[in-house]
Amino acid sequence: MELAPVRTMMIEDIQKAIPHRHPFLLIDRVLVIEESKKAVGIKCVSMNEWFFPGHFPGHPIMPGVLIVEALAQTACALFLSRPEYASKLAFFMGINETKFRRPVVPGDVLELHIDVLKAGGRAGKVRGEARVGTELAAETEFTFALVDK
């Protein structure tokens, strides 16, 4: 990380902020770099993940859609941990410009970099990059709507 976090969200903090639970909670920690603007999620990818037996037998690769979901969960944790959004949920409205650059495999530590491009009271737009070390694994932009729980 190039910047020190202003706060760190451990798994208990993440579960207070977002509704996702096992087996669909795909982030382990969130480093909030700048409130409401920038965060880095951490996902320690293990061979014990529920999706590896079927994707792909003998050649485990984390599904690209789950990498995008992990990026979205990082953005949700960044937003929904704020008191003003405590009664909200975030829903995908669009996913654009998505590219997958390298496979994510067991043993990788996935860094989920989030940059908020636009944010309002009801919607926003985010750019996300998933990295393994210095290598770009995936990149995307997505829009979301904030709705009442």
Catalytic residues: 55
Beta strands (DSSP E) in the chain are 7-9, 29-34, 38-44, 88-100, 109-119, 123-132, 135-148
Local structure of residue 148 (DSSP, 8 states): E
* Residue reference for tokens 């390298």: 102
Closest to 9 measured CA to CA, from 84, 79, 85: 79
